[in-house]
Every structure is written in C-alpha cells, then in structure tokens.
Amino acid sequence: MNIQVKNTVKPIDYAKSIEILEQRVHDVFLGKKDELLWIIEHNSVYTAGTNSQKTDLLDKNLNIIKTNRGGKYTYHGPGQKVVYFVLNLNKREKDIRKLLHRIENCIIEILKEYNIKSYADDKNIGIWVDGRKKSMKIAAIGIRVKKWIAYHGFALNISTDLSKYSGIIPCGVKNKGITSLKDLGISNYNNIDEIIIKKFLNIFL
C-alpha cells in the first residue's frame, strides 16, 4: 500500500482543498493514484458537517460553509494543522469504527510526543485532555466514506486563536472546552509535521 505524503505550507482555501480531496477520492477508487496524507492550514473558516444543528450556531453573522464530512460546526484557521487523508477501505478493512479508532490512536500518539495525556470519548467524537474543571477538546475528527474510500480527516489545535470558537458550540458539545498545544504550555512544536507523518504512517502503512 502506497500513501503519498503532501505538506503544504501556505494556507489553502477550504473549498479548493475539498475539491482536490474529492478528485483524489475518484482517482483512488479508479486505481489511478495512491492514497493520500495531506497536512495543510486554512485561512479562518467555519464549516458545518452533515449533523450540524442551527442551535449550535451562536453568532448568526458568521459565514458558514456546508461540507459533506460527518460532525457538526467547527472552526479552521491559522495555528491549526488540518490533516486530510484519502484511504481505500476496499483494500483495507471495510470497518469504519476500526478506522475511527485508528485515527484516534494516531492523534493520541502524536500528543504523547509532547507528554500530553489525551483520550477518546465514546459519546463525543474527537480527542480530549483533562482541564482543571472540564474536559478540553484538542483535536476534531470528521470523516466521510464514499464507495469505501474514506476521506476528510482531523484538525489538531497547535497555536490556534481559541476565541474564534466563541461564535459556535464546537461539535455540538456544550459543557466542555477547547484547548491547543500552546494553551497547554507547549512552546516548541516546530517538528509537529514530522511527528504527524511518522505516527500516521506507523498506523496505516
């Protein structure tokens, strides 16, 4: 199994990135291209997944882009690593629950490199750390599967402006918070891309 690794430094428009992903899904299904791991950042954008509910949109003036990934409202922007993938489950296991579990483990392993203890929550998708008073989400996960090709991915907060989440109820979870590596006191995360690539390929190659 070959996975092409792409790491794009300059921010990419959200709609453009999804267009590229959709084309890759088509090409992977037809066997024209390898699977993909793509690390990027977006300019500030709010997206609504297929399970989003209007009550989770607190600031009605926000410009929201509807997307076909699973999940609800979330934010992407500078200081956040968006890790997209295209994986062919026709040649792997056709088990979405197992795929999600592997993605969760991948993020947990990434955070271990920074001595951050994190965990998955069966009731609330994403990866969490314990805060002083409540659980804090550090990574959001949104996946879509088409013809057994899994795509979209996860977003890991590195030095994200956390105030940007105030206009939404992120992922529909009201009684929990949002955090980032920087917020947890990590000041050196220059090698984060290499760690993401290493941990992802360890699991999926």
What positions carry a catalytic annotation?
171
Q: How far apart are CA 37 and CA 106, in angstroms?
A: 13
Torsion of CA 122, 123, 127, 133, to 10 degrees: -120
Distances, alpha carbon 113 to alpha carbons 30, 110, 202, in Å: 37, 6, 14
DSSP calls for 46-97: EEE-TT--GGGB--TTS-EEE-SSSSSEEEE-TTEEEEEEEEETTSS---HH
How many helices, marked H, and strands, marked E, lie in the chain?
3, 11
Residue owning tokens 């999804």: 18
Distances, alpha carbon 65 to alpha carbons 79, 99, 104, 151, 154, in Å: 20, 26, 25, 18, 17
